[in-house]
């Protein structure tokens, strides 16, 4: 069945992202901070409407925020009954004769056969992470166009087949603790501020290298103290702990 940008399920109104990505705001204002985003094809339940803003709950991680109604005004005749995520890399899709650039993690409509073009082939999780190198840091971002530290680990975990919550401190509660020295490639490392709160997370490429979003997605040195900047060698993040979320690392 072809759907527009809106679905109705058990009386709940479900909105479907049909842009490359849609910012999710903390408050119903364009000046409010962006706390997350919806990728193409992801869905959100409408909780309420305030003037031209919708309060929504993202269905993939239950994160809540506000999105302007205008993002959903254009209807696309698409079969949205597919939950297949694009994990192969940066791609583009043509729908209704219009091109859309898609970030990894986007959901693909089931009637898109023959219209999807893969620009980046991904063979393993390291390839998946490397495609984000130099992506600019964006608070609340989850896409290859702009991403934050926990957005990066969330889409990485999705590639590995694990659903992680949105924020770093929430992700730190998932998986098994690992002592420094026993870390393996693919483990997540968490970092704390001076108050001991988890504020940063990254992905270990090996025992001494970490890829993470800080200013941009970059690779730095991983030590028992934390992250050491690759160029100036300053300690930028203080280690709080290491977690193993994947059984195949």
Question: Phi, psi (5° rounding) for residue 2?
Answer: -75, 135
Q: What per-residue confidence (pLDDT) applies to 93?
A: 81
Do residues 86 and 107 lie in contact, with contact meaning Cβ atoms separated by under 8 Å?
yes
Q: Is-same-fold flag (1-121; 125-244)?
A: no
CATH architecture of 125-244: Alpha-Beta Complex (3.90)
Q: What per-residue confidence (pLDDT) applies to 112?
A: 53
Q: What per-residue confidence (pLDDT) applies to 125?
A: 95
Catalytic residue among 212, 229, 233, 237: 212
Catalytic residue check, 200 = yes
* Domain spans of the chain, in order of start: 1-121, 125-244
pTM of the full predicted structure? 0.88
Catalytic residue among 200, 233, 237, 245: 200
Q: What per-residue confidence (pLDDT) applies to 75?
A: 59
Q: What per-residue confidence (pLDDT) applies to 3?
A: 41
Please state, as a whole number, how many other Cβ atoms lie within 10 Å of the Cβ of residue 8: 9
Catalytic residue among 37, 129, 149, 245: 149
Q: What is the longest distance spanned by two Cα atoms in the chain?
A: 56
Which residues make beta-bridge pairs with 100?
Answer: 93
Selecting from 3.40.605.10, 3.90.1150.10, 1.20.1240.10, 2.30.30.40, what CATH number does the domain 1-121 have?
Answer: 2.30.30.40
Question: Phi, psi (5° rounding) for residue 84?
Answer: -80, 120
- CA separation for the pair 94, 117 (Å, rounded): 9
Average pLDDT of adjacent 10-residue blocks, the chain of 249 residues: 49 86 96 96 93 95 96 67 71 79 84 66 92 96 96 95 95 97 97 97 97 97 97 96 85
Q: What per-residue confidence (pLDDT) applies to 5?
A: 57
Do residues 43 and 14 lie in contact, with contact meaning Cβ atoms separated by under 8 Å?
yes
């Amino acid at each position: 069945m072809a759907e527009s940008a809106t679905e109705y399920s058990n009386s709940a109104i479900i909105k479907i992202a049909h842009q490359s990505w849609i910012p999710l705001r903390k408050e119903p204002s364009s000046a409010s901070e962006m706390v997350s985003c919806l990728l193409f094809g992801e869905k959100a339940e409408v909780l309420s409407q305030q003037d031209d803003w919708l309060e929504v709950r993202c269905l993939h991680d239950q994160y809540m925020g506000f999105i302007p109604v205008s993002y959903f005004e254009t209807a696309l005749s698409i079969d949205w009954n597919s939950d297949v995520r694009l994990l192969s890399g940066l791609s583009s899709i043509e729908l209704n004769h219009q091109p859309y650039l898609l970030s990894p993690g986007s959901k693909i409509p089931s009637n898109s056969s023959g219209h999807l073009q893969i620009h980046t082939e991904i063979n393993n999780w390291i390839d998946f992470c490397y495609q984000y190198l130099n992506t600019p840091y964006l608070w609340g971002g989850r896409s290859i166009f702009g991403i934050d530290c926990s957005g990066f680990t969330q889409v990485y975990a999705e590639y590995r087949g694990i659903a992680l919550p949105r924020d770093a401190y929430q992700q730190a509660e998932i998986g098994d603790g690992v002592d420094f020295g026993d870390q393996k490639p693919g483990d997540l490392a968490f970092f704390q501020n001076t108050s001991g709160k988890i504020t940063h997370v990254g992905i270990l490429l090996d025992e001494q290298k970490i890829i993470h979003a800080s200013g941009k997605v970059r690779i730095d040195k991983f030590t028992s103290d934390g992250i050491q900047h690759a160029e100036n060698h300053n300690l930028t993040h203080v280690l709080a702990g290491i977690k193993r979320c994947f059984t195949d690392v």
